[in-house]
Amino acid sequence: EYTLVTATTYEVRPAEGEIAVSVEITFTNTTPDPEGQFSVFPEILLALHDTAADVSATDAEGDLPVAVAVDERGVNVAAIELREGVRYEETAALELRYVLADGADPQLRVRPSVIVFPAWSFGTAGTVAVALPGGYEVRVNGDPLSESAGRLVSGDIPDPSRWLAVVTA
């Protein structure tokens, strides 16, 4: 299979009515080459928030193509095309960025008076950090986030598929 380790940051911008999300990704192909073939991953797939906009990806060399579509299960998925396919025991480092904007969904509010959003991690292991402006009373439901250096942080998340925190401020 593979390992996909992420560090996700949610930068809350109530004055602009948005949250800037950045996901630092380290992807390693751990699938041995089948006999007479190569194990290659040409893209990375990540489930995004339903309202993700302005989705982009970069690596050390520049922009990478990203296609966003809803899959057969109804999940919003970003397909990041890698510059070169990642072969067995190779690693690719990149960053995915997108914006979550205030809208009609009551589970996603980004206003000077109230902030509500689901924060999650990605991949096979990760961390989450939430940067909020000062002056808010914060409550977290679901998985824990603790305060550190003016940010909310998760610590290591060994199974991102089972981790979710709803941040209310």
State which amino acid sits at residue 75.
V
The DSSP output letter for 157 is B
Q: 16 by DSSP, 3-state: which?
A: helix
**Which stretches does DSSP call E strand in the chain?**
2-13, 18-29, 40-47, 53-59, 62-64, 66-70, 76-87, 91-101, 109-110, 115-120, 125-131, 139-142, 146-148, 151-153, 164-168
Q: Give the model confidence (pLDDT) of 125-150 as tens digits.
A: 999 999 999 999 999 999 999 998 87
* Average pLDDT rounded to a whole number, residues 60-71: 97
What number of residues does the chain have?
A: 169
Among 92, 78, 76, 85, residue whose Cα is nearest residue 4: 92
- Residue 150 pLDDT: 79
Q: Is the pLDDT of residue 26 over 90?
A: yes
Other CB atoms within 10 A of residue 13 CB: 16
Predicted TM-score (pTM) of the model is 0.95
Q: Is the pLDDT of residue 6 over 90?
A: yes
